[in-house]
Amino acid sequence: MLMSNLQHLTFSVRTFGCQMNMSDAERVTGILEAAGLLEADSLENADVAIFMTCCVREKADTQLFAQVSSLKNLPAPRSGRRTVMVGGCIGQRDGEAIRTHASNVDAVFGTQALPRLLELLKNAREAPQSVLKDHPLVDVEEPYTDTNDEIIRRPEKTFSAWLPIMYGCNNFCSYCIVPYVRGRERSRLPEVILEEAKLLREDGVKEVTLLGQNVNSYAYGFAELLQGIADIGFERIRFTSSHPKDLTDDIIDVMSKNTNIMPHLHLAVQSGSTRVLKKMNRKYSREDYLSVVQRLRKKIPHLCLTTDIIVGFPGETEQDFEETLSMVREADFDRAFTFIYSKRKGTPAATWENGSTPEEIADRFQRLVRLVEEQSLRANQKVLNDIVDVLVESVSKKDPSVMVGHSPNNVTVHFDLPNGSTPNDYIGEIVPVKIELAKTWYLRGTIQAKDTFASRAVR
């Protein structure tokens, strides 16, 4: 039997990067548990230490290599041998070359290797350490065959699930490594996705998030799929990421008509300057983006709009940056993830002169962050004294008497655990919370009686 010598080994997975990696990590956990491995209490104690990696910006690379190397001098785990595996996007990018930065890696697997993970692990456990010392085992094949595989996974949360609808990306934004490490766009069949969604619902999942690098270009029609998911009856439906060039009116219509599709859209703008957007190969202008926003706001007046912005892209001038600031105001973003441009080897932009100094870029970044924070605070203040639905997810790490969840707009909400109750009375429940404090990054309030009306239509 393939798995026989893997049973009772312990494993631990550490995950970096985006939701797609988190979803893949749940899949890794599911595959290993189904083969009889047990989750360890820490990465350090695990017989099999797995890193699901990200290389979208340079910081992610540095972080990974330090963490992998830190396992080198630790005592061996219970089985007497630690197997270190690196998967995900750095695995796909670097293959065997990962050893340049992390000499203790035994096996490397790429973003399309999950169906073959057990085989790789078994080979790594059986190979003499003297062999692995010279070369790690590597599986970075891109067979394009796993698209419609049944997904075995062990979700982090029982009430909330990721649901991948497509893999890869065809957009080749000039700064971005993702198309090179995730391959070309492959859409899963709608019947496979809907069947999986029904199973999740039957298992008690309340919130489902459809995943893809650009879900709007789902090959079999995103609007139709979204309606099909809405009909299954989840309490909360989310999807990410959307690309402005593919956000068509039929998708906006489905969002506006179904109250279980959350009134929150993450729509990366990247820059407010048409000149920069063109160099980024985003395939829309400033005006195109603002017109999508206008259409959205017309159909979904209470929409919460969030975005991604890159500062310091090669050739960005002060004038271009001012246009980004005015875009943030005009589009009236509720929140934004802001990034300093990071050169990614192999992408077109990596060969372009920057033209701005690191000090100028840092200064722009600070100005952008200040503006985004002002807007986030203002957006959060709009719900003061409102009662909002909160999906309760966990206990605060800082204070065990505080519960943490998310509003329909995906804002973090804190509330005190009522006297006489335990966290498990609330985790996984959607409860009404009256908002009494609004901060830039979170809201705080008091839980209300269960039957208190909380309108999904309010922010």
| Interface residue list for ligand SF4 (CB under 6 A) | 169, 171-173, 176, 178-179, 213-214, 243
Find which of ligand SAM, ligand SF4, ligand F3S, none residue 21 binds, CB within 5 to 8 Å per kind. Answer: ligand F3S
Rounded to the nearest whole angstrom, what is the least distance from the CB of residue 216 to ligand SF4 in the complex? Answer: 10
Choose the contact partner of 339 out of ligand SAM, ligand F3S, ligand SF4, none; CB within 5 to 8 A by kind.
Answer: ligand SAM
C-alpha of 68 from chain center = 22
C-beta of 449: minimal distance to ligand SAM in Å? 40
Q: How many DSSP H helices and E strands does the chain contain?
A: 13, 19
- Footprint of ligand F3S on residues 48-67 (CB under 6 A)? 54-56
Give the bridge partners for 34, in sequence order.
none
**Is 166 an interacting residue with respect to ligand F3S (CB under 6 A)?**
no
- 18 binds ligand SAM per the rule CB under 6 A: yes
Q: Does 336 bind ligand SAM (CB under 6 A)?
A: no
| 238 is a contact residue toward ligand SAM (CB under 6 A) | no
Residue 181 binding target from ligand SF4, ligand SAM, ligand F3S, none, CB below 5 to 8 Å by type: ligand F3S
Residue 21 engages ligand F3S in binding (rule: CB under 6 A) = yes
We find the least distance from the C-beta atom of residue 280 to ligand SF4, in angstroms, to be 8
Closest by CA position to 61, among listed 342, 312, 362:
342
Of ligand SAM, ligand F3S, ligand SF4, none, which one does residue 55 interact with (CB within 5 to 8 Å by kind)?
Answer: ligand F3S
Span of 142-150, 288-296, 334-342, 439-447 interacting with ligand SAM by CB under 6 A: 334-342
Tokens of residue 74, six digits = 């630790």
Number of residues counted as binding ligand SAM (CB under 6 A): 18
Helices 286-299 and 318-331, axial angle in degrees (round to 10):
10
Q: Is 98 in the site for ligand F3S (CB under 6 A)?
A: no
Q: Report d(CA 454, CA 313) in Å as an integer.
A: 43
Report the C-alpha dihedral over residues 349, 352, 353, 356, rounded to 10 degrees.
Answer: -20
Residue 10 or residue 307: which is nearer to ligand SAM going by CB? 307
Q: What is the DSSP string of 376-422?
A: HHHHHHTTTT-EEEEEEEEE-SS-TTEEEEE-TT--EEEEEPPTT--
> How far does CA 152 lie from the centroid of its chain?
19
Which partner from the list ligand SF4, ligand SAM, ligand F3S, none does 342 bind, CB cut-off 5 to 8 Å by kind? ligand SAM
Q: What is the DSSP letter of 189?
A: P
Binding partner of 98, given ligand F3S, ligand SAM, ligand SF4, none, CB within 5-8 angstroms per partner class = none
* Among 111, 216, 260, 270, interactor with ligand SAM by CB under 6 A: 270
176 binds ligand SAM (CB under 6 A): yes
**Taking the CB of residue 105, how many other CB atoms lie within 10 A of it?**
26
H-helix segments, 166-303 = 178-182, 190-202, 222-232, 249-257, 274-279, 286-299
What is the C-alpha separation between 430 and 236, in angstroms, rounded?
10
Q: What token pair was written down for 230?
A: 């809405």
Of 175, 234, 289, 365, which one interacts with ligand SAM (CB under 6 A)?
Answer: 175
Pick the closest to residue 333 from 264, 406, 261, 252 (CA basis): 264
Judging by beta carbons within 10 Å of its beta carbon (0-12, 13-18, 19+), is residue 353 exposed, middle or buried? Answer: exposed
CB of 85 to ligand SAM, least distance (A): 22
Which of the listed partners (ligand SF4, ligand SAM, ligand F3S, none) does 179 bind, with a CB threshold of 5 to 8 Å by partner kind? ligand SF4
User: What's the rounded Cα separation, in Å, for the pair 49 and 380?
Assistant: 40
Report which DSSP code applies to 46.
Answer: -
Q: For the chain, how many residues are written?
A: 459
Q: Is 68 in the site for ligand F3S (CB under 6 A)?
A: no
What is the rounded distance in angstroms from the CA atom of residue 325 to the CA atom of residue 265? 20
Contact 223, 257 (CB under 8 A): no
Cα–Cα distance for residue pair 87/319, rounded to 1 Å: 41
Task: Check residue 166 for interaction with ligand SAM (CB under 6 A).
Answer: no
- For the bound state, the minimum distance from the C-beta of residue 50 to ligand SF4, rounded and expressed in Å, comes to 23
Between residues 246 and 322, which has the closer beta carbon with respect to ligand SF4? 246
Give the residue from 142, 85, 135, 130 showing the smallest Cα distance to 108. Answer: 85
Selection from ligand F3S, ligand SAM, ligand SF4, none that 341 binds (CB < 5 to 8 A by kind) is: ligand SAM
User: Beta-strand (E) ranges in 254-368?
Assistant: 264-266, 304-311, 335-340
Compute the least distance from the CB of residue 55 to ligand F3S, in Å.
5
Does residue 182 interact with ligand F3S by CB under 6 A?
yes
Among 10, 21, 92, 214, binds ligand SAM (CB under 6 A): 214
Candidates 3-11, 177-185, 269-277, 415-423: pick the segment binding ligand F3S (CB under 6 A): 177-185
Binding site residues, ligand SAM, CB under 6 A: 18, 56-57, 175-176, 178, 213-214, 241, 243, 268, 270, 308, 310, 339, 341-342, 344
Query: Where does this chain bind ligand F3S (CB under 6 A)?
Result: 17-18, 20-21, 54-56, 88-89, 177-178, 181-182
